[in-house]
Structure 1
């Protein structure tokens, strides 16, 4: 089926928060919402305190799961993007800050003063390995009764 990939950049562009799922060394899960900006469909950025629980988890286990969705969608009308990724501190701060600052309101831009070592925040990035979209239950394009996830790749 063609055209499903188009959901990926649209949801990344339309939504400002993602739910980041991490796990500590013992495998205890943790999920947290974070403001994010996408460089493209394969790299996302956010800022967090390095001592926050999800940041500590990423330091121990860089594999993460991410969900992007509109929490205001009516029941039965939800769209969602699920991502499998590897996360860690951003290696290109200039690109990360430019990407993040393009999404924040005027006057709220991040600067080097906000970032470690002088500031309280660290810029993180997620390198996406796999993309999935939500297929709602009883979707006429599919033979499904309940909601499901469908892996998607760029249209060739």
Structure 2
């Protein structure tokens, strides 16, 4: 099976929002949509208020799950990415703002004044450890009746990618 990795950069480039799943110290989950920009397939950026629930959760538990998908896709036509990552304040807020501003409409760009300590937001980044793509139930390429997720890795030069299927949740 070839070509599954290509879903990753395409959906990251086409999508404007991700769903960020965090948990607090006691393990209580929280999910929130955020506008994002991808530097590449392994680093994502967004800005949030440091006192928002997901930002407070990140301060306690940096492990996150991320889902990227087109919410306007017709039923049965969805594509999605499931990402496992570690997140926190961006090491390079200038790079985060540059990536985000490249996706924002004219007049809506962010500046350093929007970021703490003088501004209300913090630039965050997620370092992606594992990438999964949605395999819809009944996909003729796979023996699956229900939706599943497929672990994909970036193909190495001249190598065929390996896949491991898991049930979607």
TM-score (normalised: structure 1): 0.99
Q: Which residue of 2 aligns with 1:137?
A: 137
Q: State the partner residue of 1:102.
A: 102
Q: Which residue in 2 is equivalent to 1:121? A: 121
Deviation at 1:85, TM superposition (A): 0.1
User: Does the 8 A contact of 1:32 with 1:54 survive in 2?
Assistant: yes
For the aligned residue pairs, the C-alpha RMSD in angstroms reads 0.5
2:93 aligned residue: 93
What is the match of residue 154 of structure 1?
Answer: 154
- Residue 6 of structure 1 aligns with which residue? 6
In 2, the alpha carbon distance for the partners of 1:109 and 1:132 equals 31
Unaligned runs of 5+ in 2: 157-169
The alignment covers a number of residue pairs equal to: 156
Instruction: Give the alignment's TM-score, normalised by structure 2.
Output: 0.92
SS of 1:145 mapped into structure 2: coil
Question: Could you give the per-residue CA deviations for residues 109-152 of structure 1, whole angstroms, max 9, x where no partner exists?
Answer: 10011000000000000000000000000000000000000000
Structure 1: state its 5+ residue gaps.
Answer: none
Offset at residue 58 of structure 1 (A): 0.2
